[in-house]
A and B are shown apart, each in its own frame.
Chain A
Amino acid sequence: MRTRIAGGRVIDPAHGRDAVGDVWISDRHIIEPPAGGTVADATYDATGKIVMAGAIDVHSHIAGWNVNTARLLLPEFHRAAAPRPAAPPLSAAGWSTFATGCLYAQMGFTTVVEPAVLPHYALHAHLELADIPIIDKATLAVLGNDDFLLGLMRDSAGAAAIRDYVAWTLDATRSLGIKVVNAGGSIALKENVRQFSFDDVVPHYGVSSRAIVKALQRAAHEAGVPHPLHVHCNNLGMAGNVESALATIAAAEGLPLHLAHLQFYGYGKEGPRGFSSAAARLAEAVNGATGVTIDVGQVMFGQTVTISLDTLRQFNARHQARPRKYVLLETEGNGAGIVPYEYRASDFYNAVQWAAGLELFLLINDPWRVFFTTDHPNGAPFTTYPDIIALLMHREVRARAIAALPPDAIAVTTLPSIAREYSLTEIATMTRAAPARLLGLTDRGHLGPGAVADVAVYADERDRAKMFRAAALVFKDGELVVRDGTVTQVRWGRALTVRPERDRAIDHRMTRYYEDRFGLADAYLKVPEHALGRPQPFGLVPCAR
């Protein structure tokens, strides 16, 4: 089966391509355009349209106990859920796994990373991912508040032991990478510590947050995991927390490090209310630290719910819940906190947060190192992405939005002074080529021969929000799945995983550890393929070594 997407403007930054031409698909993959005269089995006219690889989201909370608990906490939100696609099973449900896959696909996204999976909850997360149609998925396993790792560090077990543990965790939980969330902060909260910074020491274990981040960064790197350690820093959301992020950036020390939802750390203490945007400082630091990548975590106004494994942050935020209810779970490792929140355009602090996110997007020069996220749903639902693209691509769209916000809030930001407008190539870099490179997914994010045939075709509209909200055509693995912004075909994607080499002695150590500490077999936290009820639920991504 050969498919030809004909005559579109093909924007493929990985190959430096921005030209009118054809894209050819054979079965699941992109191929070189065949010799002249070859007739395709199906041809789609893309004249006047924009053709890009399928988009990749590096950080979006779409599955697992914490997401599901947010659903159960907030039944009143579901009826308000966005457009209802009409093809897959249970398609009429508003906020379900099925809707999640369809809503992403309609925007031209074909791969999404769920970035917050506690190892003990990995099976649950994968079960939800298995019920998300169309797109490919991946999880990041969260370490850094777990007794086993901190025990290794307390006992000075050495880098090799930590690397084996990281490799074992990735395999057991079928994850693509490792994340650390407020390293040590969740354990500190259990000891009634209410504020925890980068150089604070975890009670009883005697290791600092910095040491945990450094140990995991090194372990992921040395194990050959393509995705660098994904870091959620300390002191999220607090005035003056730019210092936490700057300290973490400085601690990268040349090795790759990814900082998640950096906007939430972009706050100074200037101005009449002691709360200001420090995004410009942060952007400058990122520009100077070439091994560091970030995603933004843009805030958009409206009702949402914050879902985080940063229990310390969520504990401290519990009184700001809108509506006034929350769930905090404490368990082995991080735990989870779910706090509903409404970002209001009239609210000084929320307006500063909105501006700080856009400043990061616009002041970080290299689109290969800044990624497109709202930290869904923490800053806003992912369905707001098209609106954010419009804000980045058009000064006047931004100016109109700024004019509607409290002037005293805008006064503590640099946003009005920024003239930059993103090009389509920069958008394609930030949402396709760069995330694929960041995650080590060489088979996607581009339109070169051999790539998985994940392709999005958009009408070239002046209104970029309208354009990116509803793709004209989307192909996943070569199958047409979306036409004119509507899902036309349901299929089931895979969860992408890595399996770095390890010394198998760690397997016996983990078995003993689980028996001693939990009275259980470690098999309990594994994710067997047959449990997921889909054919070929996993796809293995190669490691560097």
Chain B
Amino acid sequence: MARAWIGGKPVALERALAEAAELLAASRCPLITGLGTDIAGARAAIGLAERIGAVIDHVNADALLRDLAVLREAGMMLVTPNEARLRADTLLLVGPSLETDAPELADWLGLGTGGERAIVRLCPGRGARPTEGETHVGRGADQLPSLLAALRAGIAGRPAGKTGISAKAIANLATRLKAARYGVAVWSARDLDPLAIEMLCGIVADLNTKTRFSGFSIAPGDNAVGVLQACGWMTGFPLRTGFGRGYPEHDPWRFDGARMVAARETDCVLWISAFRAASPPWGEGPPVIALITSDAALGSGPAIQIEVGRPGVDHDGVQHHPPLGTLVAVEATRPSDAMSVADVVAKISAALPEVAR
């Protein structure tokens, strides 16, 4: 049975659920964030948000929305990591954070398995040393915007200004990329602002005039892409969508949960973290109802805390699978009686008073 705490003291689950419902019902501007959960949890949380007029955000929405900003301004050519492994003869690995953000990247792409593949890393970090068969161009992430601009100019045969990287190296790189039969660019939105991502996607698009090229960005953790998909089909919009007016409105600035907390625009937070025992990343703030995979009360933290199980460990679930680029069903590896986020949210919803909004 799920454990629950109020003010750090253990309480019966029913009491925690009732108090959570009361807090949310009384809130004038609730925020549902963290949202590290499986698809069932996301569907339940979004349904709850509509009922109580809450804002929906995700702990990794920053990175998601940077990519999405480019997608909806300019579009993108995309490939799944799995297809990249099977097909790419040229890999353009951009920025220093790829392996930090995706420790399994080498597996996804079949790196280090030999073969004839050209592997170029752009600005892999000042200390990075090329492994055998790799070429490095540029050093720190701060060089990326100017390097990408110069590279796009080079591919199009246009002159570029000084970048701190030799014009010859850029020209050679342009030649190599144009010689790819099927190239794949990989980036992490942590390393690039939207303009730099748009430049990189522009390089990919330009290369397709003559040859084939595509790309993908590293999917942020906590099932961010899965939650984004559910939010998309349920509301028509991505995360950072609010129901305060009774219908979904999307605004990446207005509904940025961290900003709302800092600006004291929200008076109650439902924080969900089912993949890891993470607490909200801010210090001071409004009362928090935390649904966390933790069997102990978090220190000074939440007003109400309810233990939830981990999708794919404690219970079956559906989540985004980065190598296939799609949603997959995962079975519990150690089934337990811990409640899922969907179960807890359903119980909180059932405990809400019938308010006419």
Chain A residues with a Cβ under 8 A of chain B: 63, 65, 67-68, 71-75, 78, 81, 84, 89-90, 92-98, 120-121, 123-124, 127-128, 131, 189-192, 315, 318, 321, 324-332, 517-520, 523-528, 530-531, 533
Contacts and interface: CB of A to CB of B under 8 A. Distances in A.
Contact of A93 (B82, B248, B323, B327): B248
Which of B74, B83, B208, B228 has the most chain A CB atoms closer than 10 A to its own CB? B83
A369 B234 CA distance: 35
A490 to B, nearest CB: 13
15 contacts: A67-B233, A71-B236, A73-B75, A89-B47, A92-B247, A96-B233, A121-B326, A123-B329, A318-B75, A327-B78, A329-B78, A331-B324, A527-B329, A528-B316, A533-B342
B52 to A, nearest CB: 13
Contacts of B326: 65, 120-121, 123-124
A185 B328 CA distance: 27
Interface size class of B (residues with CB under 8 A): 35 or more
Contact of B234 (A74, A90, A94): A90
Most chain A beta-carbon neighbours within 10 Å: one of B79, B87, B318: B318
Given A527-B329, A533-B43, A68 B318 contact: no
Contact of A131 (B50, B107, B234): B234
Contacts, number: 154
A330 B324 CA distance: 11
B80 A331 contact: yes
Contacts of A96: 233-236
A88 to B, nearest CB: 11
Contacts of B323: 518, 520
Given A75-B72, A533-B43, A90 B87 contact: no
A127 B318 CA distance: 10
Interface string B74-97: 111111101100110000000000
A89 B247 CA distance: 11
Interface of B: 39-40, 43, 46-47, 50, 68, 71-80, 82-83, 86-87, 107, 181-182, 208, 211-212, 214, 228-230, 232-238, 246-248, 250, 316-318, 321, 323-329, 331, 342
A124 B229 contact: yes
B4 to A, nearest CB: 24
Given A72-B72, A96-B233, A331-B324, 20 more contacts: A73-B72, A73-B75, A93-B248, A120-B324, A121-B326, A123-B327, A127-B230, A127-B233, A131-B233, A189-B212, A190-B212, A321-B75, A329-B79, A330-B77, A331-B82, A518-B82, A520-B323, A524-B321, A526-B329, A531-B318
A84 B247 CA distance: 10
Given A72-B71, A123-B329, A124-B229, A98 B234 contact: yes
Contacts of B325: 329, 331
B75 A90 contact: no
B50 A90 contact: yes
Given A121-B326, A123-B327, A325 B72 contact: yes
A90 B235 contact: yes
A192 B211 contact: yes
A523 B248 contact: no
